[in-house]
Structure 1
Amino acid sequence: MLIRFGASNYRSIAAGVELSLVAVDHDREAAREQPHLGESLLTLAAVYGPNASGKSNVVGALAWLRDAVKDSIRFWEDDIPLEPFAFGTGPTEPSEFVIETTVGGVRFEYVLEIGTGQVLYEGLFHYPEKKRRRIFEREGSNLKLQRGLGALSGTRELLTERTLALSVARRFDEPLVSEFANDLLRIQVLGQVPRRTLFPNWRAMQRFFGTADTTHWFDGQDNDQHSLSPREEGKWPTLSRREQALALLRLADLGIQDVVIDEQEIPFSSSGETRTQRRLRLVHRSGGNSAPLDFSAESEGTKTWFGLIGPVLTALRSGSIVILDEFDAGLHPTLSAELLRVFQSRVTNPYGAQLIFTSHDTSLLNHLNRDEVWLTEKRLDGSTRLGALAEFAGERVRKSQNLENAYLHGRFGALPQVDQTEFLRALGLIG
């Protein structure tokens, strides 16, 4: 489970932000006790704030770190796709990322500092007996390994100034490294669109990422990146993957009773050829009748819910993280609230899967605890400030407070400052 994540000098994040999933209130189902930490961790974290205040950049920084570990060997040969804060000294200063997680009951910490075109510092540590121990530490091209980890010695030969040591080391058969790296790579991201990419059609790929992943749950095919076995037999339902996905689809009360995945022949008039392609259709019921409709004809809300099914079930089954940018886009608030309950419940979420999301839907605040809410604001220099609602402005927010009402009345800030004066003057309606 994620303990905390921090980033500095990334997009609108300048001086640094930290998102913590350590619970303030322990006496509830969504707070999962971690005896080795002496703390409880949360299964939900929501980021609220005005448009352009940096909400997406906060969760995007975590997504960037995941992609860096996955891609640095293959795609960083000539350049590091990093976007530092654009103002002041941002372009010349290093960027830093820090993540702490628990893997198999052990706390891990990973620190990465990147400068212009090169990795400056990188370190992976663990706390097997509550005492910090180094797994590896790297400054420039100098790599130090924990004694007894000879299996990682080949990392030095493959290391370059733009390659992450973690990307290289995870390929060797050393559980200490591979288990942490695999846990990081299991993070699923929906809604985030990187500004720099190797794929010209990345926006379309991201939009339908969840749809493709969900389809595997209905047709029995496994997705190599995200399909995992349950951690303990007996805790996860014995229903088939298709039955689990269909149950979650029906939960939304969309009038859909089944999913059909088949093949259709597509004729090409120019060449006279006929090609076969897979087709996804949702079977709707109407009275005593039913009919399959092509997925492209479905509403945006139906497409959104369908796209969430695969990533959500994968996370619940493996205890991994789902990042969802603009959670409220296309979903009815009742459905959004139901998804929160799925992650909060120990019955539906036995392995501590975590949902981290951004949203403008204030009604969801009625279903969140004070320590599950984070607020972003834009500073005068254009940088993002991230603060915990539980301790807004240094004052402990009451557990019983109506969060939605207080937020909408400006109690916690993080609201757009709307002023019509300039607009009315431009229309010539005022002097």
Structure 2
Amino acid sequence: MYTTIIIFVELIPKIMLVQFHFENFKCFKDETKLSLVASNHIKDNVDNVIKTDNINLLKSVVIYGPNASGKTKLLNAFQFMRLMVERSTNNAVDRGFSIDNFRLSTESKESPSFFEVVFILDEIQYRYGFELTKKNILSEWLYKKEKKEKELFYREGKVIEYDSSELKRVKSLVEEDMIREDSLLLTVLAQFNDQLSQKIVKWFHHVNLLSADGSNVQSYTLDKLSTPMKQKIVRLMKDADFSINDFVRHPINRDEIQTLHTVYDENKLRVDETPFMLEDESNGTIHFLSLTAPILDTLDRGKILMIDELDSGLHHDLIVALLKLFHSEETNPHNAQLIFNTQNTNLLSSDLFRKDQIYFVSKNRYGEASLTSAADFMLRPGANLQKKYLEGRFGAVPYLKNMNKSFTSKKEEDNENRD
């Protein structure tokens, strides 16, 4: 007699970002596109490219720009779109949306905002987006592309066109007037168990978004210290040379985490370990610890990771090592993608990136932010990108030549007062 053993293998879905496109959000007045499509004209750093049957995508994108240029707002735009997809049906009737339009122009202050994302889910490319005001969804669309692009639904006001063979629940929802003007059709379909819509909403969940202060991720990492991921976190901290042997719960306050460090005797021989409170560690140590669980989760499951100010408190070499984790097929077998902003210009001279992986954010005199790819500039092979960036060749640097006038004027004013 034979015993049948069934082994369940969890399949990791292919979930990649192709392009994010938005308009009239915070400091971005005009159309803005962040593309992760790899240029066919750039041949270097082939390991940084994900090759698929139809399109080649970038494993990482870095965004540069001066303070208050819009680097964080760019990530906020995606965060807003994700929150709308997840929670649009939670809005109280007539309460409206907390959308922050570009407010420095009479032209855009009351104009609608636009959001669209192109992504790959289980080897199929989708394009989903919507246009909205502070009160209503003006339009919404979903397209599917295998060989040719096919419309799954298009909504304009109360009029909805849809493919009934792909979306079977739309008809009954429309007939029963279940689609509110302030709710996304995609969100409603997902709540009524439409499988494709649920998968697309879940795609947005697979984007890990980390804020600059780490407030939304430190607790996530600390929670993971009570799971099997702890071993990987400890290993990553050791490999990053933080001299932390382990993490333990405080013996009295079990909600607090302590770090264990080695104690040596007079002969520099290891004799014991001693605990430190987490707040006794440096800001860089705590920042890196906060990143470990999201990074491991992203690499293990082929997700998308967006980080605001990756370089905060971290050494240049450590950032380089983290980027290499994403660019290597060995450590990134599921084609995870990383999008981050930074002020570390040394990365531009480290041969880590192709030109199409580098973006610059800058603002004009009217407060309008714009996003430009380094691939849009005519550059000779081997050009020193760090030098050219610091020289202002790409824009996206602060104008500081008049800064000394503030002190000069004050000095002149003081002299006049003494006279």
TM bracket, shorter-chain basis: 0.7 to 0.9
| Match in the other structure for 2:8 | none
Per-residue CA distance 1:318-369 (angstroms, 9 max, x = gap) = 2111111111112111111111111111111111111111111111222322
- 2:139 aligned partner, one-letter code: Y
| Match in the other structure for 2:13 | none
Deviation for aligned residue 1:253: 0.5
The answer to whether 1:213 aligns with 2:196 is: no
Q: Distance in 1 between matches of 2:294 and 2:365?
A: 37
Deviation for aligned residue 1:212: 1.7
Deviation for aligned residue 1:52: 1.4
| Match in the other structure for 1:281 | 258
The answer to whether 1:63 aligns with 2:79 is: yes
Per-residue CA distance 1:172-218 (angstroms, 9 max, x = gap) = 333322222211122111116xxxxxxxxxxxxx7332222212332
Write the mapping of 1:116-127 to structure 2, written as runs, cut at 5 A: 116-127=134-145
The TM-score, its normalising length taken from structure 1, stands at 0.84
Q: 1:307 aligns with which of 290, 313, 317?
A: 290
| Match in the other structure for 2:124 | 106
The answer to whether 1:87 aligns with 2:64 is: no
- 2:35 aligned partner, one-letter code: S
Per-residue CA distance 1:136-155 (angstroms, 9 max, x = gap) = 22112333321222134454
Segments ≥4 residues shifted beyond 6 Å: none
CA 1:246–1:158: 2 relative to 1, 3 Å: farther
The answer to whether 1:368 aligns with 2:353 is: yes
The answer to whether 1:294 aligns with 2:311 is: no
Contact 1:8 1:97 in 2 (8 A): yes
Q: Distance in 1 between matches of 2:60 and 2:374?
A: 14
Write the mapping of 1:12-161 to structure 2, written as runs, cut at 5 A: 12-24=27-39, 25=42, 28-35=46-53, 37=54, 39-75=55-91, 77=93, 78-88=95-105, 89-128=107-146, 130-148=147-165, 149-153=167-171, 155-156=173-174, 157-161=177-181
Q: Distance in 2 between matches of 1:311 and 1:324?
A: 10
Q: Distance in 1 between matches of 2:78 and 2:386?
A: 27
- 1:141 aligned partner, one-letter code: K
Contact 1:369 1:399 in 2 (8 A): no
Q: Distance in 2 between matches of 1:376 and 1:322?
A: 19
CA 1:76–1:281: 2 relative to 1, 3 Å: farther
Q: Secondary structure at the match of 1:219?
A: coil
| Aligned residue pairs, count | 382
The TM-score, its normalising length taken from structure 2, stands at 0.86
Contact 1:155 1:165 in 2 (8 A): no
Q: Secondary structure at the match of 2:252?
A: strand
| Match in the other structure for 1:171 | 191
Write the mapping of 1:275-424 to structure 2, written as runs, cut at 5 A: 277-287=254-264, 288=270, 289-365=272-348, 366=350, 367-392=352-377, 395=378, 397-419=379-401, 420-424=403-407
Q: CA RMSD in A?
A: 2.0
Q: Secondary structure at the match of 2:246?
A: strand
Contact 1:31 1:43 in 2 (8 A): yes
Deviation for aligned residue 1:383: 0.5
Contact 1:209 1:307 in 2 (8 A): no
Q: Distance in 1 between matches of 2:90 and 2:332?
A: 35
| Match in the other structure for 2:25 | 10
Deviation for aligned residue 1:26: 5.1
CA 1:154–1:343: 2 relative to 1, 3 Å: farther
Give the % identical residues: 27
